[in-house]
Amino acid sequence: MTFQNKKALITGATGGIGKELSINLVNQGVDVCLTGTNLNKLNLLKKKLSSLSNNVKIIIYPCDLSKEKNILNLIKFINKNFSHLDYLFNNAGIFNPKKINKENNRNIEKMFQINVLAPIYLSKHFSLKMKKRKFGRIINIGSSSSYTGFKDTSIYCSTKHALLGFSRSLHDELKSHNVRVLSVSPGTVNTKMAKKIK
């Protein structure tokens, strides 16, 4: 399978997994849109990726996925710059381990908005054109927490359980259109996020 001229969106592109995804895609000739909340980090990543290949299009868009209006603006930006999307990597996520009685409601809502609702909103939009083109891959980055639970991580585990259920259901809904929805659930990865675990 050739990846040249394919187009991908990677959320959470400046994190550990997001960077590696970006590097691998660009090395295979995929045009990428990279999102994250830190513009400086996005620019540095774009510079690094540009040194790997001159034959791909690399665009960046700083975006806080906890707000629906920002997601809608991201969608407009991608539609303006890419004719379509072949791959959607829902990689962005936040992880704030805390005992449930010490967690405030705003943080609970924010974790669900970024870890669950953002992937749902993006999948809802881009899967429509994927269905029409009879090709698409939606990859949701979950966690081993999608299958179990750990103390002080009840909200995070809840979001990853939700993302897994969404992935399985959406795969069944879209598979007849040659659109595959995959849930990748790695264990602890050596990233800044993982260091929050004590």
Q: pLDDT for 159-198, tens place per residue?
A: 999 999 999 999 999 999 999 999 998 766 554 544 444 4
| Average pLDDT rounded to a whole number, residues 88-96 | 94
Per-residue confidence (pLDDT) for residue 188, from 0 to 100: 60
> What's the pLDDT band for 54 if we cut at 50, 70, 90?
confident
Would you say residue 4 has pLDDT above 90? Answer: no
Long-range CB pairs of 36-41, under 8 A, 24+ apart, other chains included: 36/11, 36/12, 36/62, 36/63, 36/92, 37/62, 37/63, 37/64, 38/14, 38/62, 41/14
Does pTM top 0.75 for this prediction?
yes
Per-residue confidence (pLDDT) for residue 187, from 0 to 100: 63
> What's the pLDDT band for 146 if we cut at 50, 70, 90?
low
Would you say residue 58 has pLDDT above 90? Answer: yes
